[in-house]
């Protein structure tokens, strides 16, 4: 529910290149703990935010608060760069360069296509290198929240790619678009709660005694993200394969073993169209049981 942040000291000691990129791109807000969250104020903000209107203001408690990507960038201390680069890469990403950057040059990973649009939609986390995994944790914790990392969506892949290439991103526009998706979601609508609370406080919105405020708690508000626990990609035993890639390989190897006689046919008792049960299992069959009962009655 609450916002998340990074441990600055650990990131600087374990991944100095990523730390330097974060500082150069002006993403220092990822180290700030937003602490408490005013749930009542956040709910009023989302309820009064009319995203369809051209006016970028949110009426709340008698005031019109200006809310745009530029204002968010000024509040977070990030740069106001062009958003067309992120949108263009998201629409037409460089697939080969993304694969080489996030999954190494020798990776055999493939994009998964959407069933509806038939476009490349997701990339599997299992093939990411360690640097890409750390950046993905940062993206999914502070910019584009996600609860699972097994299949990484197209926009998150593009954002990780831009950060690894040290390309400037418009944080305000990305956060605003993500808030628009969560405002009507009952399970996610209090995400960015700490950010919205501190933003409205900076805009002079007064809080009331009846407001429901969640104090700082490591599991509810201000949860720290342990990026230093990220495991590296282990390719010592060969390339990482998914389940749908591993099953055909195993079936092919098993067929080769059978053809070359490396698997004994007698050992495969349960294979084939017919299966004969052993007769020496010391268990009475149905016919034997009925016969015993008839013998008792006759006797």
The model's pLDDT over 223-246, given as tens digits with 9 standing for 90+, comes to 666 666 666 665 555 555 555 555
**Global pTM value:** 0.71
CB 77 within 8 A of CB 29: yes
Rounded mean pLDDT of 205-231? Answer: 70
30 DSSP 8-state letter: G
134 or 273, which is more confident: 134
Q: Is the torsion defined by CA of 182, 185, 189, 191 positive or negative?
A: negative
Rounded mean pLDDT of 16-26? Answer: 89
Q: pLDDT band for position 212 (50/70/90)?
A: confident
Helix (H, G, I), strand (E, B) or coil at 52: coil
CB 142 within 8 A of CB 4: yes
Q: pLDDT band for position 159 (50/70/90)?
A: very high
pLDDT score of 284: 61
Rounded mean pLDDT of 118-131? Answer: 84
What are the domain boundaries of the chain? 35-80+170-222, 82-167
The model's pLDDT over 79-107, given as tens digits with 9 standing for 90+, comes to 888 777 888 888 888 888 888 898 877 77
Q: pLDDT band for position 1 (50/70/90)?
A: very low
36 or 68, which is more confident: 68
- For the chain, how many helices (H) and strands (E)? 12, 9
Q: Which residue has the tokens 């009064």?
A: 48
- Asked whether the predicted pLDDT for residue 299 surpasses 60, the reply is no
Nearest alpha-carbon partner for 27 in 142, 131, 112, 152? 142
Residues 205, 41: Cα–Cα separation, whole Å:
9
**Mean pLDDT score of the chain:** 77
- Asked whether the predicted pLDDT for residue 74 surpasses 70, the reply is yes
CB 131 within 8 A of CB 18: yes
Rounded mean pLDDT of 247-273? Answer: 62
Output the DSSP codes for 107-141.
----PEEPTTT-SEEEEEGGG--HHHHHHHHHIII
29 DSSP 8-state letter: G
- Asked whether the predicted pLDDT for residue 155 surpasses 80, the reply is yes
pLDDT above 90 as % of the chain: 5
pLDDT above 70 as % of the chain: 69
Q: Is the torsion defined by CA of 24, 28, 29, 30 positive or negative?
A: positive
């Amino acid at each position: 529910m609450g916002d998340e942040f990074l441990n600055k000291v650990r990131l600087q000691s374990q991944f100095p290149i990523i730390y330097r990129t974060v500082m150069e791109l002006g993403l220092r807000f990822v180290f700030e703990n937003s602490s408490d969250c005013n749930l009542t104020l956040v709910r009023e903000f989302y309820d009064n935010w009319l995203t369809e209107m051209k006016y970028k203001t949110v009426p709340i408690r008698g005031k019109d608060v200006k809310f745009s990507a530029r204002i968010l960038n000024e509040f977070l201390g990030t740069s106001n760069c062009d958003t067309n680069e992120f949108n263009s890469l998201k629409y037409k990403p460089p697939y080969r360069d993304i694969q080489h950057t996030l999954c190494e040059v020798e990776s055999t990973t493939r994009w998964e296509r959407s069933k509806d649009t038939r476009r490349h939609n997701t990339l599997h986390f299992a093939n990411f290198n360690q640097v890409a995994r750390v950046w993905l944790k940062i993206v999914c914790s502070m910019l584009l929240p996600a609860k699972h990392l097994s299949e990484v969506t197209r926009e998150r892949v593009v954002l990780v790619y831009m950060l690894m290439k040290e390309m400037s991103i418009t944080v305000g526009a990305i956060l605003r678009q993500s808030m628009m998706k969560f405002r009507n979601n009952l399970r996610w609508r209090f995400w960015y709660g700490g950010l919205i609370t501190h933003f409205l406080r900076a805009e002079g919105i007064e809080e009331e005694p009846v407001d429901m405020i969640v104090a700082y708690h490591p599991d509810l508000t201000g949860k720290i993200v342990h990026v230093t626990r990220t495991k590296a990609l282990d390719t010592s035993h060969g390339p990482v394969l998914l389940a749908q890639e591993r099953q055909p390989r195993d079936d092919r190897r098993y067929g080769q073993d059978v053809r070359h006689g490396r698997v004994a046919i007698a050992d495969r008792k349960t294979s084939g169209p017919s299966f004969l049960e052993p007769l020496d299992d010391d268990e009475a069959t149905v016919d034997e049981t009925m016969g015993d009962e008839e013998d008792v009655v006759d006797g």
